Amino acid sequence: MCKGREIYVVLLLLSSAVSRCLAGVDPAEQQLLKAATNRVDIRSSSAKAFELDAEFTAQFNTPKDGHLTWKWAARDLWRQEITMGDYRQVMVRNGDTLYNSRNEPFIPLRIDELQKLLNVLPVDIDWQFRKIKHQTEGGIETDCIEMSSQPGPHPRNSKRTLCINPATKELVTDEEKDEEQHRRKEFADYQPFGGHSYPRQLKLLANGSVALKVKISSLREATFDQATFVPLPGAIARHQCEHMTHPQAIKTPDPPYPRSASRLGGVATVAVTILADGSVDNVQIVQSAGREMDQATQETVKTWKFKPAMCGNEPVVSDAWVEVTFHHR
């Protein structure tokens, strides 16, 4: 039998989405969270154009070093280039379209996590305020806002804690736990930029192990010509909008547990494309659970059905992560 599935949608969420988690927060905590959001938001509508360079180490079976360059002119006009070993990726946002050129059929999981880590303070599902507590993080006295995921038809039963330095309004840690995973983001060594502040050191820990370490080597004002934001030939195009809604699972039958499986349990992570009609295409194994379980996952996920991502009343194509956990009984 298989259970414990969770769907991760690959989107670069803007910090304005934080306003969705403020229900139930008293004015003091609401002000603290808004101040922290504004403090780190170097991509606000009034922000200065910038070029950011970062060196990072991503943990796979072995560590892999990489480099990222982000050229940002506006929320709907930017270019991001990533290299990591043999992997190459160029993403260009130009107007209402996001273009992705890469030399692999899917975005590696750590690259997706890197992009989310650089957002510093995103909120990608609805959260409900629980309480605030005071604690010390890395020798810093912080105010920690505790939240839980909102109830719904497919609840994640997640808990999230944002610890903020009340003196500087800088986010120190962002910790999220659910039944399957414990993820902790750490931010340090903030630098001023354009009336905001951005960390030079960023870290992601997954289930207690370091998954990503990022060092910002340069963050500076910049000007760009229009050629910077021309997508590469053959780039994958995805429609974007300000209040895009995520795809929602409608029909997701469990893959059968393979009788021939040589392993007792495992986790298969797949990258999928959810088409505008809600069907699934381009199913790619990202993390293997073993050949038999991978095959069962691929064959079953192809039959899944979703309510597609939406821009207003228009269904749009989107990309998602699907994690399937097999438990032997």
Which among 178, 123, 160 is positioned nearest to 4, based on CA atoms?
Answer: 178
* Domain tally, the chain: 2
Q: Which residues contact 105 (CB under 8 A, 6 or more apart)?
A: 282, 284
The residue ranges of DSSP E strands in 207-279, in sequence order, are 209-221, 236-239, 248-251, 266-274
CA distance 51 to 313: 35
Q: What is the CATH number of the domain that holds 314?
A: 3.30.2420.10
Structural domain ending residue among the three candidates 236, 253, 288? 236
**CB 73, CB 225: distance < 8 Å:** no
Which among 257, 274, 271 is positioned nearest to 326, based on CA atoms?
Answer: 257
pLDDT in tens, the chain (329 residues): 444 343 333 322 222 333 344 445 556 677 888 889 889 999 987 789 999 999 999 998 899 999 999 999 999 999 999 999 999 999 999 999 999 999 998 888 899 899 999 999 875 556 777 888 898 888 889 999 888 876 654 445 788 999 999 999 999 999 998 777 799 999 999 999 988 999 999 999 998 999 999 999 999 999 999 999 999 999 999 999 888 888 888 998 888 888 776 666 778 888 899 999 999 999 998 888 888 889 989 999 999 999 999 999 999 999 988 888 887 66
Residues 142 and 24 in one domain: yes
Helix (H) or strand (E) holding 151: none
Structural domain ending residue among the three candidates 236, 270, 288? 236
Helix (H, G, I), strand (E, B) or coil at 43: coil
CA distance 37 to 44: 10
Residues 100 and 158 in one domain: yes
180 is a domain residue: yes
- Domain holding 288, by residue range, is 242-326
Residues 167 and 267 in one domain: no
* pLDDT score of 151: 62
* pLDDT score of 123: 56
**CB 30, CB 48: distance < 8 Å:** no
* pLDDT score of 235: 96
Q: What is the CATH number of the domain that holds 127?
A: 2.50.20.10
Which among 301, 317, 167 is positioned nearest to 240, based on CA atoms?
Answer: 317
Helix, strand, coil distribution of the chain in percent, nearest 5: 15, 50, 35
pTM for the whole thing? Answer: 0.84
Residues 82 and 199 in one domain: yes
**CB 299, CB 320: distance < 8 Å:** no
* pLDDT score of 328: 65
CA distance 273 to 296: 18
* pLDDT score of 21: 46
Which CA distances in Å does 32 have to 56, 64, 304?
Answer: 30, 37, 41
1 is a domain residue: no
